[in-house]
């Protein structure tokens, strides 16, 4: 199953790092042995950003700053954290790492380049019931994830972000920054009654369209109260948003249908695969980004539209005990080609196309998170339940 959305195709890695200027890094608390983690989406050259919060129980940091009328235009990273409100500490570590590398907002102007404040908005999921209650990300976890994100970006660009740092801070990134699954903030996530995780997807506009070559991508941490599968078929709700054959790696296309036993087992898990009748808390958080030049207000609109993809892939969504939050960012080469950003801002037609593809990317990223997730913390993965393996 697939759809043709303006002829877009997945980017080279089908990840948010298909956009130049973005790095992805993950870290797990308790020196990598814990039950929760952090994912940092780093934009060291700055990104125009805003945010849209739809869930009834959000846990966030620096989101008011991203309101279009407010002053600061650029952010330097987004921290997506496990650990509920405790996990917001991870953003402090991300700030410390960025400041150490000379990345941040020059609060006293260019005359004082050493006086900087990195801008790092953050959002958390509630994952304290999977694994140990007191296994939570700290500032150290956030700093480690930021190092990994900057190292991944450094590797992608084949440059050195800061040649004066000591070896300890120049560690190579651990794992594949383009991967999805039980990574970073997605380690302790549960998608309804099934295992959730971290997922990403990208889309590139083809030649012959007004946005030829522009990339839109999403990175999502999936931990909702609602279900991620159709109880009639057992397939993920968002599988129809597929571009090309991107989900075939998980066996979805090859199998064609979920065996009846798998469908019935999923249907019997709590209330049709949701967490609605349990005491578990929730939240789906993430970032949607583009290299098209957007204003702060347009980044807000992109984030708002992206929640449509969340609501298509998770049903029901935006519930009272969810904290669903999506950050919207404009970053990369295309957004930085001209210093006169206002002169190159996209028009309403292009903005509509970007918004539609952003929603699709979020929907696909959620499916990748669920299909790539592995059984953990006594919470079965979709693949294990569906195929009975």
Digit-coded pLDDT (tens) for 66-86: 999 998 889 999 999 999 999
| Range(s) of the domain holding residue 201 | 16-158+175-387
List, for residues 139-154, the tens digit of each pLDDT value: 999 999 999 999 999 8
- The answer on pLDDT for 88 being more than 80 is yes
Length of the chain: 389
Structure token digits, residue 207: 């030649």
What mean pLDDT do residues 108-122 have?
90
Residue 312 sits in a domain whose CATH number is 3.60.70.12
- Counting the structural domains of the chain, the total is 1
**Residue range 290-313: mean pLDDT, rounded:** 97
Q: What is the pLDDT of residue 155?
A: 87
111 falls in which pLDDT band (50, 70, 90)? confident
Decide if 26 is inside a domain: yes
Distance from C-alpha of 307 to C-alpha of 311, rounded to nearest angstrom = 6
The answer to whether the CB of 44 falls within 8 A of the CB of 101 is: yes
> Model pTM?
0.92
Q: Give the whole-angstrom CA distance, residue 213 versus residue 292.
A: 9
Sign of CA dihedral 309, 328, 204, 6: positive
Residue 5 lies in a domain: no
Res 173: pLDDT = 46
**Is residue 125 one of the residues assigned to a domain?**
yes
Per DSSP, the residues of 313-365 read HSBS-S-TT---EEEEEE-STGGGS-S-GGGGPPPHHHHHHHHHHHHHHHHHH
Domain assignment of residue 2, yes or no: no
Phi-psi region of 48 (alpha: psi -120 to 50; beta: other; left: phi over 0): beta
Q: What is the pLDDT of residue 113?
A: 83
Q: Is the pLDDT of residue 219 over 90?
A: yes
Q: What is the H or E stretch that residue 287 is in?
A: strand 285-290
Q: Which H/E stretch holds residue 197?
A: strand 197-204
Mean pLDDT, residues 329-340 taken together = 64
In a domain, 234, yes or no: yes
Please name the helix (run of DSSP H) or strand (run of DSSP E) that holds residue 122, with its range, or none: strand 122-124
Cβ(203)–Cβ(8) below 8 Å: yes
The pLDDT assigned to 163 comes to 37
Share of the chain above pLDDT 90, in %: 72
* Domain membership flag for residue 50: yes
- Residues with Cβ < 8 Å from 133, sequence gap 6 or more? none
Separation between Cα atoms, residue 332 and residue 48, nearest integer Å: 10
Confirm whether 334 is domain-assigned: yes
Asked if the structure places residue 142 within a domain, the reply is yes
Q: How far apart are CA 224 and CA 215, in angstroms?
A: 27
């Amino acid at each position: 199953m697939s759809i043709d959305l303006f002829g877009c195709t997945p980017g080279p890695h089908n990840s948010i790092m298909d956009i130049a200027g973005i790095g992805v890094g993950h870290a797990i608390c308790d020196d990598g042995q814990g039950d929760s983690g952090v994912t940092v989406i780093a934009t060291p050259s700055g990104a125009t950003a805003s945010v849209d919060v739809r869930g009834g129980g959000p846990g966030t940091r620096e989101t008011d700053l991203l309101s279009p009328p407010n002053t600061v235009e650029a952010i330097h990273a987004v921290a997506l954290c496990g650990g509920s409100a405790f996990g917001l500490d991870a953003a402090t570590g991300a700030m410390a790492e960025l400041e150490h590398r000379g990345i941040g907002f020059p609060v006293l102007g260019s005359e004082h380049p050493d006086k900087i404040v990195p801008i790092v908005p953050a959002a958390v999921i509630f994952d304290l019931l999977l694994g140990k209650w007191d296994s939570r990300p700290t500032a150290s976890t956030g700093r480690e994830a930021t190092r990994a994100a900057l190292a991944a970006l450094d590797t992608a660009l084949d440059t050195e972000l800061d040649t004066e740092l000591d070896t300890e801070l120049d560690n190579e990134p651990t794992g594949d920054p383009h991967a999805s699954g039980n990574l970073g903030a997605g380690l302790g996530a549960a998608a309804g009654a099934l295992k959730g995780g971290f997922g990403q997807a990208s889309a590139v506009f083809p030649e012959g369209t007004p946005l030829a070559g522009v990339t839109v991508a999403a990175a999502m941490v999936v931990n909702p109260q609602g279900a991620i599968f159709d109880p009639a078929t057992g397939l993920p709700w968002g599988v129809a948003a597929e571009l090309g054959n991107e989900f075939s790696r998980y066996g979805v296309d090859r199998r064609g249908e979920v065996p009846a036993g798998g469908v019935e087992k999923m249907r019997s898990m709590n209330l049709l695969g949701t967490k609605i009748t349990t005491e578990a808390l929730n939240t789906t958080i993430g970032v949607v980004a583009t290299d098209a030049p957007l204003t702060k207000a347009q980044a807000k609109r992109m984030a708002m539209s992206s929640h449509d993809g969340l609501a298509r892939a998770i049903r029901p969504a935006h519930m009272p005990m969810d904290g669903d939050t999506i950050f919207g960012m404009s970053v990369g080469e295309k957004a930085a080609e001209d210093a006169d950003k206002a002169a190159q801002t996209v028009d309403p037609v292009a903005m509509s196309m970007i918004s539609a593809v952003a929603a699709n990317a979020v929907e696909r990223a959620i499916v990748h998170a669920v299909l790539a997730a592995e059984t953990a913390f006594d919470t079965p993965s979709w693949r294990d339940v569906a195929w009975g393996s």
